[in-house]
Chain A
Amino acid sequence: MSLDKATVAKVANLARIRVEEEKLDPLAAELNAILGWVEQLGEVDTENVKPMTSVAEMQLRWRQDEITDGGYQEQVVANAPSKDEGFFAVPKVIE
């Protein structure tokens, strides 16, 4: 599997990262070097091996579904680059 320029552009779009056109080729080369090195994982026999999804052997805890926190709108939006009447403000999305 090798990434070409178009694939890098597609992935960058999925990641919502603007990448300048002239940077796509060098990035493709870097990413290919990393992915090429990762290919060695193919040597490991993982037949019937379960993926590791929990580090400590534990069950996720259950808790009551109840409100324990909140009611401080001003604090929630305190760091927003743009806010209005206690809401986060973004550029218009509906024409």
Chain B
Amino acid sequence: MTDLTRLTIADARDGLKAGTFSARELAAAHITAMDAARGLNAFITETPEKAVEAATASDEKLAKGEGGVMEGIPVAVKDLFCTKGVLTTAASHILDGFKPEYESTVTTNLWNAGAVMLGKVNLDEFAMGSSNETSYYGNVVNPWRRSEDDQPLVPGGSSGGSASAVASFSAMGATGTDTGGSIRQPAAFAGIVGMKPTYGRCSRWGVVAFASSLDQPGPMTRSVRDAAIMLEAMAGFDPKDSTSVDMVVPNFEAALTGDIRGMKIGIPKEYRLDGISSEISDLWDKGAAMLKEAGAEIVEISLPHTKYALPAYYIIAPAEASSNLARYDGVRYGLRVEGEDLADMYSRTRGEGFGEEVQRRLLIGTYALSAGYYDAYYLKAQKVRTRISDDFKEAFKTVDAILTPTAPSPAFAFGEKGDDPLAMYLNDVFTVPASLAGLPGISIPAGLSENGLPLGLQLLGRPFDEETVIRTAGVLEDAAGFDATPTDWWRG
């Protein structure tokens, strides 16, 4: 039999329906792959028993001709989604031993659609990072290596475990969350597809909060079609999330018509950064040429406030985080470090429980919100955010989608940007503006760097117009014909 782990979700769905293989066989193949890939440290918690149990239930449904859109499909869940009775860590020491008594809405939707959970995957602590180097549970390794050496590379972040699990064929898809690029940038680093839907499309209920006005769950898969299938399963109105939008979830897969004739694609001139490598800008030009070849019109656009997106983000996100993470105090769940009194217990618990990057951001956020500085930092950043959002609104009066690179470089080695938080923040230069504006975006693998690493291109669309983004991404995916896979050195 062919290696079942190499199938796409769409292929596996068809194979399951046709009875070519069973959901139990599919789960077993992935459990074996997950075990063999332990060296990548993608999973924090493996749940093979649950996977077999769910696959058995799927087989029963499939036998009766029933089942949801993801019936029997094995997926990994970013360990930021609360899963009932299964350890949920946010990759932080401070959530030691936390087993939620409830299930997040997005994972509930996935299980209702028939998906099978393989386990919970690693991430940057509280999703704060771009390289998966801040996890309490250790670094995640990218399945890809440079052609000239076998130095371990970062998988990107914060959804690094999701990216590594999908790229290493340990899972057919994974949930991610994107606050400033945490789905799209790791997808680019690992040569897979990652989609952040419009803010409000997927419920945030039961997702450990980082920055509530930015956080948005989305799918990470190995094809655009798979992303469309998985997004449809994840999305939907949820009254338990006050910013969930009450809109019908379209059949996203049906958007893949392959026809983008007459569509206008914007190329923002401000994304041509000084010092950007020629391989990134060449790939971008190639992507534009492919869309033009498919009948789209390429239009240069201006997003004048682009350079202010990162500094605005690094006030807004830490400010929201400082408020959200106030709940970790050693009283209700997780770690408690005893102290001389209650206040001392709080400070010791948080001092030991949070890692360095999280502490840094909480301090920045606390400072930005403190008396006397609120207007200068937080209010100013919120006003700049309005201007960034207005830039996009203006652009979308003339274009239907925007094409940019996903990240300014391919995956890098561990420690390469470790000493300078600002150098790390620059990884998100192309993804953060759309996060601030709440827009849907997708990263698709479009080529290889000179040293053999995957590079991604990003497409952005109007709010709640995921369909145009998916349609355009499908065309770009076909034209780019990216079919490289990492050698499976980790199987040893």
Q: Which residues of A contact B (CB under 8 A)?
A: 1, 3, 7-8, 11-19, 27, 30-31, 33-35, 37-38, 40-44, 46, 49-56, 58, 60-61, 63, 72, 75-82, 88, 90-91, 93
Contact = CB atoms under 8 A, between A and B. Distances in A.
Interface string B128-141: 00000000000000
Contact of B363 (A15, A18, A40, A80): A15
A17 B331 contact: no
A16 B339 CA distance: 13
B305 to A, nearest CB: 7
- SS of A interface (majority): loop
B191 to A, nearest CB: 30
Interface in B343-400: 343-348, 350-352, 354, 359-360, 362-364, 366-367, 370, 373, 376-377, 379-387, 389
B347 A37 contact: no
Given A79-B98, A81-B335, A56 B342 contact: no
Contacts of B307: 40
B292 interface: no
22 contacts: A1-B376, A11-B363, A11-B370, A12-B363, A17-B362, A30-B360, A31-B363, A33-B421, A41-B380, A41-B384, A46-B380, A49-B383, A51-B379, A51-B383, A52-B386, A53-B382, A55-B438, A56-B245, A56-B464, A79-B97, A80-B333, A90-B342
Interface stretch (B9-17, B54-62, B162-170, B310-318): B310-318
Given A38-B311, A56-B200, A93 B341 contact: yes
A29 to B, nearest CB: 11
A19 B199 contact: no
Nearest to B436: A52
Nearest to A63: B239
B387 to A, nearest CB: 6
Given A31-B364, A53-B382, 19 more contacts: A3-B367, A12-B363, A15-B363, A16-B347, A18-B348, A30-B360, A34-B360, A40-B308, A41-B311, A51-B382, A51-B385, A52-B436, A55-B243, A56-B199, A79-B100, A81-B330, A81-B334, A91-B338, A91-B339
B332 interface: yes
For the complex of A and B, the 6 pairs showing the least CB-CB separation, nearest first, are A18-B351, A51-B382, A55-B438, A81-B336, A79-B333, A46-B383
B332 A27 contact: no
A39 to B, nearest CB: 8
